[in-house]
Amino acid sequence: MAYSSSSDVAALCQNITSGASDFSSSSSPTQEAVNKWLSSGCAVINTYLAGHRYNMPVSSTAAAYQWIANLNTLYAAAETELSRTNITLGPGERTRGSVMLTQFWDELKRLVVMDLTLAGIGRSSTGTLYVGGISESDKDIYEQDTVRVNPRFRKGQFAFPGTIRSGTSGC
């Protein structure tokens, strides 16, 4: 599955397609290769968004669908440009494909910063962040375990009496 098509990629890669509206089985790269890059790009997008707890795949009725389709096209266009065999790279030189790939990742990161639920993409759960260790009772049980490996560090190990701790104002 992909959010865009090889003809969308061809529109971005006119320099490779020589003005053709789509790739073919005899073009370089072939339409089959471009379709594989579209599928890969779709998988990257879905995995990235799912990692941020959004429902996948994105519905075509979602307001953000076209943005995601454009990202999918950009990923495949970057791979298409990088597949060119006549590219010579020097130190620090960037190709059109590498610029597109950087743009893809920047846009994908920008996408998840937004609240996509407002754009019609549902969340799989609201979720809550849990930061911290274990409960006091669990800690007591673990400390009584005779085969437990003792920790290398403990709370307050580097504290010196009469000094201000990091993060406190001292007032």
pLDDT per residue over 41-52, tens digit each?
A: 999 999 898 888
Higher-confidence position of 94 and 95:
95
Give how far Cα 167 sits from Cα of 133, 158, 162, Å. 20, 14, 15
For residue 60, what are the CA distances in angstroms to 5, 67, 88, 120?
Answer: 14, 11, 39, 10
Asked whether residue 161 is assigned to any structural domain, the reply reads: no
Please tell me whether residue 123 adopts helix, strand or coil conformation.
strand
Bond preceding residue 91 cis, omega within 30 of 0: no
Which pLDDT tens digit goes with each residue over 15-65? 899 889 999 999 989 999 999 999 999 999 998 988 888 888 888 999 999
Contact present, 60 and 2 (Cβ < 8 Å): no
**156: in domain:** no
The domain in which residue 26 lies consists of 6-85+93-119
- Is residue 29 a part of any domain in this protein? yes
Asked whether residue 124 is assigned to any structural domain, the reply reads no
Q: Is 1 inside any structural domain?
A: no
Bigger pLDDT: 150 vs 95: 95
53 within a domain of the structure (yes/no) = yes
pTM to 2 decimal places: 0.67
Structure tokens at 30: 């072939």
167 pLDDT band, cuts 50/70/90, is: low
* Dihedral class, residue 122 (left if φ above 0, else alpha if ψ from -120 to 50, else beta): beta
Is residue 115 very low, low, confident or very high in pLDDT (cuts 50, 70, 90)? confident
Q: Coil, strand, or helix at residue 89?
A: coil
For residue 40, is it within any domain? yes
pLDDT at 129: 44
- Domain membership flag for residue 58: yes
Total domains in the chain come to 1
